Copies of this chain bind each other. A is one copy, B any other.
Amino acid sequence: MATIKDIAKAAGVSVTTVSRALNGYSDVSERTRKKIKQIADDLSYSPNALARSLVMNKTKTIGLLVSGISREGAKDNIVFEVLTGVNEYCGQVEYDIVLFNTSSSQQKKKTYTQLCRERRVDGVVIQGIKNDDPYLIEVIESDIPCVLVDIPIQGDTVGYVATDNVAGAKEAVQHLVDLGHKQIGMINGHDRAFVSQERIQGYIEGLERNHLIYNKSLVYNGGFSEKQAEAAAVSLLENYPDTTAIFCASDLMAFGVMRGAKRLGKEVPKDLSIVGYDNINLSSYVTPSLTTISQDMYQIGYSAASLLIELLEGGDPKRSKIVSHELVIRESTGERNQPF
């Protein structure tokens, strides 16, 4: 594989000149530049990014740390959409992405900082990390620039991009209230997710705004799992049969709730209205199709990447970005069945 040394030899100039010619510096005569470029082409030269990064102390590479790159994570397309957005932006600014393997138990031995330092990534986008993940502390304390998805933490080298989950949840509840529902349950994710904290807050605010009392017992945790949510919904509906609507902190859990309702012989939306969160692909395909709060995860990924690159290249001093959300009304919600 040809190096600048080879080119230098062939062109009868020094490596310095070759380097400058190839990198478009102005202080090299047009004639030598042409010659050098020609030779580089002839030798089908490719610069060695490794060597360059080593001396420049910059890799033009960002790490993508995702906890959902696992077999189960494939069900919703959230992780993938974020990745797609990140990928798209990075392509535009010619950054590369390296996938960090946190899933594998092998790698777990290495700390976040070690991971980043070894690979010498310039920065990191982090997604799907839990509140109590040890990585999180490291992230904040480390001096490696990073952008968090869905975790509102800022710092000198850390920014975030998220949606307004409080507002989203509020809108979901408002939609149900507008349909006449008075007893609205909730299946939340788990306490170790920021979004869960926000969504329940939005749920509460949504109720209170409408002078409905917030009853803690109507809220169950489904751990963002379809199965768990199904079980939770069954409990909820058995213990509080007057519940006519359930707000779920994820679409996947909403499917679980649908299944649970079916098991109890309840029809959606006639006997039970369901609102999800995320608007994953499946949601428009299931029957009945799911009313949900839509988040543009592609946009979130795209924004995360752009925020990170800004952070890296020291442009705009922004540290966070809120991506818009939207209530998508489909078939899983309907007017409350008025008992006569």
Contact = CB atoms under 8 A, between A and B. Distances in A.
> Considering residues A47, A64, A79, A88, which has the most beta carbons from chain B within 10 angstroms of its beta carbon?
A88
Interface string A51-70: 10110000101001000011
Contact of A98 (B47, B54, B97, B286): B97
Nearest to A107: B91
Interface residues on A, range: 35 or more
A98 B96 contact: yes
A54 B46 contact: no
Contact of A61 (B98, B113, B286, B287): B98
Contact of A83 (B50, B69, B96): B69
A186 B230 CA distance: 38
Interface stretch (A114-122, A128-136, A232-240): A114-122
A298 interface: yes
A298 B74 CA distance: 10
B117 A46 contact: yes
A46 B104 contact: no
Given A49-B118, A54-B51, A94-B107, A84 B74 contact: yes
Nearest to A2: B117
Interface in A90-143: 90-92, 94, 96-101, 103-104, 106-107, 113-114, 117-120
19 contacts: A46-B114, A48-B54, A49-B118, A50-B50, A50-B53, A50-B120, A61-B98, A64-B99, A69-B84, A74-B80, A74-B84, A74-B298, A77-B80, A83-B99, A96-B98, A96-B100, A96-B119, A281-B282, A286-B286
